[in-house]
Amino acid sequence: MDRRLIVSVVLTTLIVLLIPIYFMFENQRQFTFAIAQDQEDVQRGAALYAGNCSPCHGVQGQGNAVSPTTGKSSGAPPLRGFVTELGPDGAPQQVPWTKSRSEDYIRATISAGRPPLGGHPAPGSVVMPTWSDRFGGPLRDIDVDYLVKFLETQQWDLVPKQSTLPADFAKATPAAPVSAGGAIANPTPGPAGTGIVSINTGAEPFKEGDAAAGKQVFETRGCTGCHTVDSLSDARGTVGPNLTHISSQQYNNFPNDPEFLKQWVNDPQAAKPGTAMPKLGLNDVELNNVVSFLETLK
């Protein structure tokens, strides 16, 4: 028999034998990879939850978290727990509440926020801000997907392990009422009692901006969900300080002048690691505009 024919037959036989063996192990490899990828997505979601959601909804998703800035309870609803639904066999069964909602519902709530009933929040009520960058928030669509996956797993044990988690929740004490000219109470620890380690967060020097445009930034980038401003009907948040008289107040030993405010809003986490306020990703024009708006609040 021709030698080349023999080699061809042998190689063909080997290929025929190896193909099913390859697919037998490939399915397992793909399955293992998919599990690892899902868990990585959940870990990323836990990190995002720790840094952005835990100040209101709690480290364990228990809701009504205490703010490290004001010492007040957020009033935000819990995100953990179970509901009773009918199972495939018609019998009642307990399922995580996230499984009782569609992924689209959870994703839409995170992305676009939850406006108050009637369009106007009652004093002290909680308004969930928008988080997707498509609605003016700081998160990408893929970040929202990570959060949805995390919430669906209910793996709350992951949250305390995240480096993004604000560290001072348990140390917060009730803040004094805010009044014009008074200092904003800050119960969290740090250098000189402020918790602020830097007021240079890399922002450009302040330039006078458009206060009206800054007001729009304030109202569309989630600020009203955490702060109260008496002159704005939709700003009734209690997670962060009351900003009604922000430009005439001091933050402990730091004046709330435009330079300080711009550095703070640019990157709160760099100015005070562990603060409940996230970095909003504002560009230089938006920073100048929103600070110009804050300067009108006397």
User: Tens-of-pLDDT digits for all 298 residues of the chain?
Assistant: 577 777 787 788 888 777 777 777 767 767 676 777 888 999 999 999 988 888 878 887 877 666 655 566 666 777 876 655 666 777 766 666 666 667 787 888 888 887 654 445 554 455 678 888 888 788 899 999 999 999 988 888 888 888 777 665 534 333 333 333 333 333 333 334 455 655 788 899 999 999 999 999 998 888 887 788 888 887 877 667 788 888 887 665 566 789 889 998 998 877 776 676 788 889 999 999 999 999 999 8
Structural domains of the chain, ranges and CATH numbers in brackets = 82-294 (1.10.760.10)
Per-residue exposure over 76-99, b if at least 16 CB sit within 10 Å of its own CB, e if not: beebbeeeeeeeeeeeeeeebbbe
Phi/psi at 128 (5° precision): -80, 125
Do 104 and 190 contact (CB within 8 A), yes or no?
Answer: no
DSSP state of 38: H
Do 107 and 95 contact (CB within 8 A), yes or no?
Answer: no
pTM over 0.75, yes/no: no
Q: Output the CA angle 167-169-175, nearest 5 degrees.
A: 130
Do 221 and 280 contact (CB within 8 A), yes or no?
Answer: yes
Q: Output the CA angle 135-138-141, nearest 5 degrees.
A: 70
